[in-house]
Amino acid sequence: MDERDLIVVGGGPAGVMTGLLFARAGCRVTVLEKHADFFRDFRGDTVHPSTMEILDQLGWLGDFLQRPHHRLDHAELRIAGRDWTIGDLSHLNTPAPFIAMMPQWEFLDFLRSKAAAFPGFELRMGAPVSDFLQEKGRIVGVRLGDGSERRARLVIAADGRSSLVRERGLLPLETLGAPMDVFWFRVAKTPSGSALRGSVERGRLLVMIDRGDYWQCAFLIPKGQAATLVAGGIGPIREAIAAAAPELDLMELDDVADLKLLSVSLDRLTAWHRPGLLAIGDAAHAMSPIGGVGINLAIQDAVAAANVLAGPLVARDDIDPLLPRVQERRLLPTRLVQAAQKTAQDRIIGRLLQPGPPLADAPWLIKLLDRNPLLRRIPGRMIGLGIRREKVESPAQPD
């Protein structure tokens, strides 16, 4: 049986980027994706400046920006009937000082096209993994849904918050909790602006992402209430959305089937590795949608994993002692981002979703950010560039 250097479980952004970087270093890599294609709506579409820095380091940013996308460079909140500007990315000292809103299938197809240039790269679509192969306590490969087996010197789980690693209980999990779920939907709009907007009222929280000719919207609801709301039909939901954003054209939102439920979770593995196995991205740390940082943290994980492991894997060194270094590198930014998300969830979002008097005014911090353009750069930097950005240091196989 042919043994690969690396098997990556999951063909999302973390998985394909991981496969690309390891193949670029000269590894023989197989990425296994359970779906037959990349076309799934309402997946994370926010490609932040930190990710575009990685693409720039690889020499591909110009090609990436040729793909269809829409650019966001500031964020606004509507509170108590007024719009407040709270974040600005336009002044970031980075090659692309904006968020590129690109359908995830476009981003994944871009990465796949670049990875295809490396002879060691293989992407298998429609290849669900049903189990891991173990020998003497070490993960040595995977079993596919059709019963076939694939072996590798290392397996990286990048298969998201429903990862097989979690399902099998192979690594310990710490749950942080989330007070809300999200209904995703889209409505048409006249092209204008380049903002990320939020509408905040007591009992009604709506996020509107400008996608050029339509709004991609997230309507936040209390945790576990989706079934009750759906049972009541689209009418009351439309009324709540219209109250939050009267300017939205909701004519096309005429059935609960137009709503896509995201069950929000916030958690992380306390150990991301065991002999022969490493988890990254949402498989290692499920993020809240606050800030839209999930894809970008996952890409940073992929870069860190390649920086630490790709060279030794090519050299056929013992890889297991190196696995903890990836978690050591990425755990701090994960903890800090999740701490900020949990604070926002528990102290702001969770409270606002509960019944209470209408908001009469914006909090002092929102007012301060709106009045001071320099201060608006701080949240812009935190969202756009994050904490402990990675730089591509993994080897590149000579042409």
Q: How far apart are CA 158 and CA 10, in angstroms?
A: 5
Strands 260-262 and 149-157: unpaired
Given a cut of 70, is residue 1 above it in pLDDT?
no
For residue 215, name the pLDDT band (cuts at 50, 70, 90). Answer: confident
Per DSSP, 346 falls in state I
Q: How far apart are CA 262 and CA 281, in angstroms?
A: 17
Question: pLDDT tens for residues 282-322?
Answer: 999 999 888 778 889 999 999 999 999 999 999 999 999 99
Q: Of 180, 363, 332, give the one whose Cα is nearest residue 262.
A: 180
The one-letter amino acid code at 63 reads D
Question: pLDDT tens for residues 70-122?
Answer: 888 888 888 877 888 888 999 999 999 999 988 888 999 999 999 999 999 99
Structure tokens that stand for 367 in this block: 């007012």
Given a cut of 60, is residue 193 above it in pLDDT?
no
Question: pLDDT tens for residues 321-332?
Answer: 999 999 999 999
Q: How far apart are CA 286 and CA 175, in angstroms?
A: 9
| Arithmetic mean of pLDDT, 52-76 | 93
62 CB-near residues (< 8 Å, 6+ apart): none
Q: Of 29, 44, 41, give the one whose Cα is nearest residue 286.
A: 44
User: What is residue 41's predicted lDDT score, i.e. its pLDDT?
Assistant: 58
Cβ burial of 295 (10 Å; 0-12, 13-18, 19+) is buried
Q: Of 280, 245, 254, 283, give the one whose Cα is nearest residue 267.
A: 283
Strands 82-88 and 29-32: unpaired
Segment (H or E) for 183: strand 180-188
| Residue pair 185/257 in contact by the 8 Å Cβ criterion | no
Structure tokens that stand for 152 in this block: 């590798």
Q: How far apart are CA 305 and CA 156, in angstroms?
A: 9
Per DSSP, 349 falls in state I
Domains and CATH numbers, the chain: 3-67+102-176+265-349 (3.50.50.60), 72-95+180-222+224-263+355-389 (3.30.9)
3-state secondary structure 94-127: CCCCCEEECCHHHHHHHHHHHHCCCCCEEEECCC
